[in-house]
């Protein structure tokens, strides 16, 4: 969405087209996720949370189910503003038996608001947004490189120490 919003500033993409494309994509993805939740239910969510690492855990899914059962479609409207909710709300709503048409309608409205806010922020900031995003991207890549480098050095040192401990002491 950020890239599409940046393309709306002096670019080939009209802001309304970017918002409509985001809403259409979210409705299509929501329809697939809702269908998965309706058909496979808890088994799909369990497989989703059984992965080694990731933001989707059993406790988060249980918490999301409780909140969704309590607040209903308000959670769906807020989902685009949270990455974890954005990825898991459709199967959870399908599992809980939320009706398909109201779910997809609220998804479209929520994403349109989210995408509209992104596009509006980039439009207001103009070209400065592109500069800031490129600077933040460079800083993020530098931080990622530093983390990977330090992890690599740590692993090399750990392997070196393990190798030294494993060598028997030579006695004359």
Task: Tell me if the pTM is above 0.85.
Answer: no
Strand, helix or coil for residue 99? coil
Question: How wide is the angle at C-alpha 11 spanned by C-alphas 122 and 133, nearest 5°?
Answer: 40
The helix-helix angle for 15-40 and 42-49 (nearest 10°) equals: 110
pLDDT in tens, 110-142: 888 888 888 888 888 776 766 777 777 788 888
- CA gap 53, 119 in Å, rounded: 32
Tokens of 157: 């040192």
Contact 93, 13 (CB under 8 A): no
pLDDT in tens, 12-60: 888 888 888 888 888 899 899 899 889 988 888 888 777 766 667 788 7
Torsion of CA 150, 152, 153, 159, to 10 degrees: 140
CB atoms within 10 A of CB 93: 30
**In the chain, domain spans:** 2-125, 127-172
């Amino acid at each position: 969405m950020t890239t599409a919003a940046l393309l709306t500033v002096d670019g080939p993409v009209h802001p309304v087209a970017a918002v409509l494309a985001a809403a259409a994509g979210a409705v299509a993805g929501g329809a697939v996720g809702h269908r998965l939740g309706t058909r496979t239910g808890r088994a799909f969510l369990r497989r989703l949370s059984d992965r080694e690492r990731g933001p989707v855990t059993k406790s988060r899914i249980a918490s999301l189910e409780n909140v969704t059962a309590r607040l209903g479609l308000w959670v769906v409207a807020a989902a685009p503003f949270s990455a974890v909710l954005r990825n898991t709300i459709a199967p959870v709503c399908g599992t809980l038996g939320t009706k398909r048409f109201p779910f997809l309608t609220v998804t479209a409205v929520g994403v349109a608001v989210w995408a509209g806010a992104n596009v509006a922020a980039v439009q207001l900031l103009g070209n400065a947004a592109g500069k800031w995003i490129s600077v933040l991207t460079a800083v993020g890549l530098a931080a990622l490189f530093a983390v990977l480098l330090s992890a690599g050095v740590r692993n090399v040192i750990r392997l070196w120490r393990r190798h030294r401990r494993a060598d028997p002491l030579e006695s004359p």
